[in-house]
Amino acid sequence: MTKQDVILKVEVEGLSQRSVATKLGISRNTVKKYIQEYRNAREKFTDLSVENFALTEAILEKPSYNTEKRAKRKLTEGMMDRLDFYIKQNVQKRTDGRRKQQMKIIDMHEALLEQGFDIGYTTVQNYVREKEKTRKEAFIRAIYEPGVVCEFDWGEVKLEIGGRLKTYQLAVFTMAYSNYRFAKLYHSQQAVCFQDSHVEFFKHLARVPVQVVYDNMRTVVKKFIGTERELSPITMSIAAFYGFQVRLCNPRKGNEKGHVERTISGGGPAKGIQSA
């Protein structure tokens, strides 16, 4: 147990101090002390800009990195999340009468390779065909409070620049209650772009939502441990710095952040799209 464990479970995961003390086997006074030190130190950060992004040791200890090599998995949770997203985009395009704009399986495969995934075309083909055979699932509409929940995801944009077609990554934030949207283009989905998108969005919004919802993208989830998921160091640092809770979607359940999914696919009404 480290000070970091206590802070992350209370401030990022939203657990009560009592439950954290029980789960980690420490006294409630110790938990209270760590959280109070964190909150007191956080109050000193009046300028939440990227220059002051690195947290002091008093706020959050630096996470340790696991450099141990792991065997590659041919079809990971991250790959399936992206393929599910592409399939859902195609469904929306068919509904909107935009069949010619659908992604082919070869396009999905190339998109995964561009994002750094190690995956074969046949594996992608088999997964997509199997998913398309399954029945549609019914979902219960969630009710949200103003300013509480925000959803984040990446989309892809292809632009013709200088006679050449180039692919860019679009970081998209959507407020669940108002459907207010913010987006910014990047050359990649690397951690530095992920961090910058959050800095720019919170600066633009002039406030921070209570909770941000993500899928299981590699930038957000460092690794899977059984049914548990370990957040990446950059995600933990951003959440601790700005003081919001992180909620992860269940694997292959893109509907749990349907507002931002519809934003990227081009469906649903826009109540205030802003781009940086």
Output 203 or 63, whichever has higher pLDDT.
203
Both tokens of 196, joined, read 């910058």
Whether 65 maps to a domain, the answer reads no
In a domain, 203, yes or no: yes
Query: Which H/E stretch holds residue 158?
Result: strand 149-161
Residues 6 or more apart whose Cβ sits within 8 Å of residue 18: 28
| pLDDT value of position 195 | 94
What pTM was computed for the model?
A: 0.52
Where is average pLDDT lowest: 34-43, 65-74, 218-227, 246-255?
65-74
Could you tell me if 179 and 223 lie in one domain? yes
Same domain? 186 vs 268: yes
How confident is the model at residue 30, as a pLDDT?
86
Q: Give yes or no: residues 197 and 255 share one domain.
A: yes
Is residue 76 over pLDDT 90?
no
Q: 233 and 170 in one domain?
A: yes
Contacts of 210 (CB under 8 A, 6+ apart): 147, 148, 149, 244, 245
Within a domain: 72? no
Rounded Cα–Cα distance for residues 249 and 247 (Å): 7
Residues 260 and 186 reside in one and the same domain: yes
Do 190 and 218 lie in one domain? The reply is: yes
Q: What would the pLDDT profile of 49-64 be if each residue is shown by its tens digit?
A: 554 555 444 455 444 4
Half-sphere exposure of 206 (CA within 13 A, CB side): 0
Q: Is 174 within 8 Å of 263 (Cβ atoms)?
A: yes
- For residues 205 and 108, state if they share a domain: no
Is 225 in the same domain as 249? Answer: yes
Q: Is residue 182 pLDDT above 80, yes or no?
A: yes
Over the stretch 204-250, which tens digit does the pLDDT of each residue have?
999 999 999 998 888 898 887 766 788 899 999 999 999 999 988 87
Whether 141 is in a domain gets the answer no
Q: Which of 102-111, 136-145, 222-231 has the highest mean pLDDT?
A: 102-111
Residues 170, 200, single domain; the answer is yes
Provide the pLDDT for residue 259.
52
> Which residue in 231, 201, 228, 207 sits closest to 218, CA to CA?
231
Q: Are residues 170 and 251 in the same domain?
A: yes
Domain hosting residue 42, numbered range: 3-52
pLDDT of residue 140: 53
Q: Kindly state whether residues 260 and 159 are assigned to the same domain.
A: yes
Mean pLDDT of 32-38: 85
Tell how strand 149-161 and strand 211-214 pair up: parallel
252 and 158 together in one domain: yes
Number of domains in the chain: 3
